Structure 1
Amino acid sequence: MAFTRETAEAVTEERAAVVEGLVAQLGEAEVAVEVVEVEEQEGSATATLAWSWPLGPAGEPWEYESSVRLTEVEGAWQAVWERAVVEPSLRGGTVLDATPIGGARGEILGARGLALVADRPVVRVGLDKARIRPAQLEGAARAMARLVGIEPAGYLELARAAGEEAFVEAIVLRSQEFPERVALDYDTIPGGMLINDDLPLAPSREFAAPILGTVGEVTADMIEEEPDRYEVGDVAGLSGLQARYDEQLQGTDGVVVDAVASDGRERELWRLEAQAGEPLRTTLDLDLQQSAERILAGVGPASAIVALRPSDGAVLAAANGPGAEGLNIATFGQYAPGSTFKTVSALALLRAGLTTSSPLRCEATAVVDGRQFGNYSDFPSSGLGQVPLGSALADSCNTAFINARDRLGDGDLAAAAAALGLGVDHDLGFPAYFGQVPPPESETEAAADLIGQGRVLASPMAMAAVAASVQAGRTVVPQLLTQVEAAPSAGQELAAPEAETLQGLLRGVVTDGTASLLAGLPGPPVLAKTGTAEYERDGQVRTHAWMIAAQGDLAVAVFVEDGASGSQTAGPLLAEFLHAAR
């Protein structure tokens, strides 16, 4: 169309300048403009235009109307160009700009609705290349890397690859943990720069880290796998619950459109509010999780504490010690449970017709198909001989249980384990290993299974479920996420009378057996079972240390990969945790 005073090319160029800030937000979408009506007078006319800019993340439109004046020149219509044609309030020198509004990431909540992961202040430390001469870059990058404790060569490579005016991030630090040396020395490095920001973080760097996971800039692999969802610079969950529930936690971005005058003043024309992501609700108890992590902080080998609430299976704590090196052994570790598994063996024998007073042969050693089994090294000689099942469990006599193996049929041990929440998989919405009790492949393996060795495996969470099931009087399936619930498989549940008998047996372990260090704890009676499991590493026989316990509406499993015994190594940790929980 012809224009008065301006050429079509000039109008197109100015219009592009006016709307440049909007077009950048459209991606492949295009603005839609419709002629709504035309009012004609003698030699002139006014056309009403309907504009629709698809600026929202789901194409939500900014819609409005504007007018364009037309004049008739020698029988042809010409348009009068002015910025108000694009948006009715625009005047000379004013342009349009759209700014994204980030949708807040949903919080990860714990028990009582307390935020476990929420936006917390951080400081980004790095170099501003705009303030560095090329000759200074290598020295500055190496100095910054040394200051914050990262590998210099890798950071230098990153700095060289960045744009000429880029901020090259070296490290992100929590504000409350910001090192004094960095605060004092960063600006002595050419281009050294700090940027204050917020990131979704747990209360501490260690807090349930393997389970909750991390949030950060998307990786190249993530962009390649989901190019329609992610682009460079996006922030998303990278591991743990943050990654698995990223879509739920991700907020929806909004946008604000401003008219920007030549002096930089802004006038808001339209806003689409951002929407926060949906929170992820967990059962983790902030205080109990922190107590468990504090107790494990000084344990060298890999270790874990898992606490469940027997009444509903809620996972109140799932802590991994520093020796786990970032692995989630609390809910996904796979270890021989040792004598804590005698809780399962006792149930299987009760179901086979034994009672708590049924006599068993507790010997110094037992030989099965040529393999010799013994008791733990300082087993009391007074515990040898014909002993009732209750005493065999309290003293943790290996040979007594092994000598009773003929009382059990195929599948009896696995069925007892399932009734106590062990060996049956469930999808709980997070990495969870429930253990295994496979059919034995030999007589010696069948004997070893009864004392939690052989091919029997469990996670600390699974053994906590065993203690919880005994305490609750029914099969307990752990629950960490309130939106995901699993139930015991039909026909495998623990019966209340069975649980009552087991409660008496595990109470005897505290009053008269290997868990006597828990006898003096304040509060409701404590039930417990110790465990030591042998394993081989680098040609040496080593031992896992276990203890499970229940007190009131709390069931706990403590595991230390290398320890002296359950009572000596795991026991004090469990006692400290129960004290802290009161």
Structure 2
Amino acid sequence: MRTLKTLALTVPALLLALALSSCDNGDNGAKDAAQQLANALNAGDLKSLSFADSVSGENATKSFSELIKPLGEVKPQVSLASVEPEKDSKDKVTATFAYEWKFGSESWKYNTTATLSRNDKTWTTGWTPELVIPNFTAGDVLQLKSTSAPRGKILGDAGQVLVEDRPVLNIGIDKTKVPAAAQAASAQALATLLDIDAASYLKQVQAAGPQAFVQAISLRDDANRTVTDQQIAAITGAVAIKATLPLAPTRNFARAILGTVGEATAELIEKSKGRLKVGDLTGLSGMQAQFDQELAGSPGIQVVEKKPDNSASEPRVLFSTEAKAGSNLKTTLNANTQTIAETVLAKTSSASSVVVIKPSTGAVLAAANGPGSNGYNTALLGQYAPGSTFKTVTSLALLRKGLTPESIVSCTPSVAAGGTSFKNAPGYPESSIGQITLRDAFAHSCNTAFVSNAQKLSQQDLADAAASLGIGAQAGENLGTEAFAGNVKLTGTDAEHAASMIGQGTVLASPWTLAVVAASVSHGSLVKAKLVQDPADSSAQTNGSAQPSGSAQPSASATSSASSAPPVKPLTAAEAVALKDMMAAVVTSGHAAVLQNLPGGAVIAKTGTAEYGNAKPPKTHAWMIAAQGDLAVAVFVEDGGLGAGTAGPIAADLLTKLAAK
């Protein structure tokens, strides 16, 4: 258990003669006087009372405030319990005061007493620390100690432990172990060894007190640690303290999604409204931050009375509560699938992601981000033009207007719409130019065939079809964590509408939503993806946040809530059969031949290439969505060239490795 910083203040050794006035010199006068004192104690303000021996109310209030200051924001609730006359004396009564201190859901309750004496028409009492805390001795100190609760684990599919306490080394400079003149050199040497910012760390060392341990970094203490004990010991004043931190199996494992844990920042402490204190461990990002209160549990506390520093006696425990362990957070991530997904992205320098969903349940088995994402959660939060993968949505909308996979459409080298000329991607096969079937146009991704049918559909038609396959505000209802669910604008120019037909213009999607599209086609009905199982806060998902460089920016309507969205028109069995037929053709005769003959069975897929930015020629996002058996995947590379050429091989590698696991 980790003990937090202890607060301590000395109680002034002060005896105050407190005079409480009442116009009634009988029992009612004593009760009135006692009630005045109870009210003042409850308010923490004794200034309104009249004190004898020239002691001001301000000084009495200061003494009381200093006594209770170590208990922080917690203040006592004080009430008058009783006033009883003393035997053989009409001029003395015993007043009993009931105290209650609320520490979260726990309460510390006790009574104190005071003897009130009548002198003429005035009731008086002595002021001692015992009026506030029973048997408290003047000169002692109060201490409030806090012990952290065991943090809950993050679990994956079938209860796999993804995040738990694992050994770490807190490495830094102990300023008591290095002469002041050598501290700068030691800080520089340690920063170089640990590959951290030397100037910043040196400032921290110089600013810390002479007795401080200035931590530089926490390193996993496992077989993969490259910084050795000998290297640390060779630097004067450098030490490594063994500890534990909640960590995933590896440093990069689902890091953007699971998040990290560390010491609470000043900003988080302020936002917590007293829940967090300096030195507390708390979630800093991802699910660790989103579900911090559930994972953190409740700290235990001790209120103790401690003798002055020169006393060797044990502190007297006045009140204590047990720490309550945090709850485990259950997710659907599969450790092996997540690791494979990260492995196939390991050599991708651009921002990238792989999402794997189980169509039969909607469970998100993996949501991986490549090293080029630089820690950003591209898989869930990315907002990108989906390119030709969106032709799956457009095809569904056309099916609903009466077309079939056998319907003839016109695929021309170019077509004008809304004052804009649209062309097919470079390398489009000449054999599929002309009057071809919708299936062939889909398999070879003929842009002009889809754009030429723009007049058959409205933006509302596209939005409805998108919602039926899992793109739009309602898609994130069950996910349980922050994510961008995609968006199809309902208004725009004719050119924007034509561009929407091929997943360009104002259409936005994230990798996980396109994995849902593939899963829904494969399953034959809308799949509602789930990442957090029975989350405590199911309203936590949002529609995006800050974007990485090069990504599309959200439109105003992208932040609409799921509750305001219209009901989703169900995907019919006949529609699903037609879409599967067309996606199968992408593999058997179209651009995704790389997915043929993979272990694990037949694959259905759709490639996608989406232009973005102002470069000439424009840069392109590379996409591939696919389904095989009870797996649906989406592969995305932000600066990736053509979908078939870049995302396709990654998808093939992924499915091959998943089949072999």
Q: Deviations over 1:556-580 (max 9, x none)?
A: 1000112231111101111111122
Over the matched positions of the two proteins, sequence identity in percent amounts to 44
Letter aligned with residue 552 of structure 1: G
Tell me whether 1:450 sits opposite 2:508 in the alignment: no
Conserved 8 A contact 1:526-1:549: yes
Scaled by the length of structure 2, the TM-score of the pair is: 0.73
User: Residue 510 of structure 2: which of 459, 467, 483 is its match?
Assistant: 459
Match of 2:342 in 1: 293
The structure-2 alpha-carbon separation of the partners of 1:206 and 1:458, relative to structure 1 and needing over 3 Å to count, comes to same
Tell me whether 1:246 sits opposite 2:292 in the alignment: yes
Letter aligned with residue 571 of structure 1: G
Conserved 8 A contact 1:470-1:499: yes
Secondary structure of 1:176 counterpart: coil
Conserved 8 A contact 2:358-2:365: yes
The residue correspondences of 1:91-490 to structure 2 (distance < 5 A) are 100-176=146-222, 179-255=225-301, 272-425=321-474, 426-427=476-477, 428-439=479-490, 441-482=492-533, 483=535, 484=538, 490=567
Secondary structure of 1:170 counterpart: strand
- In structure 2, distance between residues paired with 1:103 and 1:380: 64
The structure-2 alpha-carbon separation of the partners of 1:502 and 1:178, relative to structure 1 and needing over 3 Å to count, comes to closer
- In structure 2, distance between residues paired with 1:140 and 1:196: 20
Tell me whether 1:503 sits opposite 2:580 in the alignment: yes
The structure-2 alpha-carbon separation of the partners of 1:433 and 1:30, relative to structure 1 and needing over 3 Å to count, comes to closer
The structure-2 alpha-carbon separation of the partners of 1:303 and 1:537, relative to structure 1 and needing over 3 Å to count, comes to farther
Letter aligned with residue 627 of structure 2: A
Conserved 8 A contact 1:25-1:55: no
- In structure 1, distance between residues paired with 2:604 and 2:439: 13
Q: Deviations over 1:309-331 (max 9, x none)?
A: 21222211111101111111111
Match of 1:79 in 2: none
Conserved 8 A contact 1:57-1:254: no
Letter aligned with residue 571 of structure 2: L
Conserved 8 A contact 1:293-1:321: yes
Match of 1:74 in 2: none
- In structure 2, distance between residues paired with 1:64 and 1:118: 43
Secondary structure of 2:222 counterpart: helix
User: Residue 604 of structure 2: which of 504, 527, 550 is its match?
Assistant: 527
Q: Which moved more, 1:302-311 or 1:482-491?
A: 482-491
Conserved 8 A contact 1:546-1:558: yes
Conserved 8 A contact 2:306-2:316: yes
Conserved 8 A contact 1:118-1:202: yes
Conserved 8 A contact 2:295-2:326: yes
Q: How far 1:523 sits from its partner (Å)?
A: 2.5
Q: How far 1:227 sits from its partner (Å)?
A: 4.2
Alignment coverage as a number of residue pairs: 549
Letter aligned with residue 639 of structure 2: D
Conserved 8 A contact 2:191-2:197: yes
Q: How far 1:121 sits from its partner (Å)?
A: 0.9
Q: Which moved more, 1:308-317 or 1:326-335?
A: 308-317
Letter aligned with residue 620 of structure 2: T
Q: Which moved more, 1:362-371 or 1:264-273?
A: 264-273
Conserved 8 A contact 1:223-1:231: yes
Q: How far 1:198 sits from its partner (Å)?
A: 0.7
Secondary structure of 2:451 counterpart: helix
The structure-2 alpha-carbon separation of the partners of 1:185 and 1:64, relative to structure 1 and needing over 3 Å to count, comes to farther
- In structure 1, distance between residues paired with 2:97 and 2:167: 44
- In structure 2, distance between residues paired with 1:195 and 1:511: 59
Letter aligned with residue 283 of structure 1: T
The structure-2 alpha-carbon separation of the partners of 1:489 and 1:183, relative to structure 1 and needing over 3 Å to count, comes to farther
List alignment gaps of at least 5 residues for structure 1. 1-7, 13-19, 41-46, 66-85, 89-93
Match of 1:80 in 2: none
- In structure 1, distance between residues paired with 2:496 and 2:142: 76
Letter aligned with residue 442 of structure 1: T
The structure-2 alpha-carbon separation of the partners of 1:28 and 1:350, relative to structure 1 and needing over 3 Å to count, comes to closer
Conserved 8 A contact 1:130-1:191: yes
- In structure 1, distance between residues paired with 2:425 and 2:356: 27
Conserved 8 A contact 1:217-1:236: yes
Q: How far 1:250 sits from its partner (Å)?
A: 1.5
Conserved 8 A contact 2:459-2:489: no
Q: Which moved more, 1:252-261 or 1:366-375?
A: 252-261
Q: Which moved more, 1:55-64 or 1:421-430?
A: 55-64
Conserved 8 A contact 2:70-2:142: no
Scaled by the length of structure 1, the TM-score of the pair is: 0.83
- In structure 2, distance between residues paired with 1:502 and 1:380: 22
List alignment gaps of at least 5 residues for structure 2. 1-11, 17-65, 88-93, 113-132, 540-561
- In structure 2, distance between residues paired with 1:462 and 1:186: 47
Secondary structure of 2:513 counterpart: helix
Match of 1:492 in 2: 569
- In structure 1, distance between residues paired with 2:106 and 2:291: 24
- In structure 1, distance between residues paired with 2:503 and 2:175: 60
Q: Which moved more, 1:257-266 or 1:133-142?
A: 257-266
- In structure 2, distance between residues paired with 1:175 and 1:55: 40
Conserved 8 A contact 1:518-1:575: yes
- In structure 2, distance between residues paired with 1:526 and 1:566: 16
- In structure 2, distance between residues paired with 1:519 and 1:209: 33
The structure-2 alpha-carbon separation of the partners of 1:496 and 1:173, relative to structure 1 and needing over 3 Å to count, comes to same
Secondary structure of 2:464 counterpart: helix
The structure-2 alpha-carbon separation of the partners of 1:236 and 1:255, relative to structure 1 and needing over 3 Å to count, comes to same
Conserved 8 A contact 2:147-2:300: yes
Q: Deviations over 1:521-580 (max 9, x none)?
A: 123431110111122344541111110011122111000112231111101111111122
The structure-2 alpha-carbon separation of the partners of 1:356 and 1:180, relative to structure 1 and needing over 3 Å to count, comes to closer
Conserved 8 A contact 2:459-2:488: no
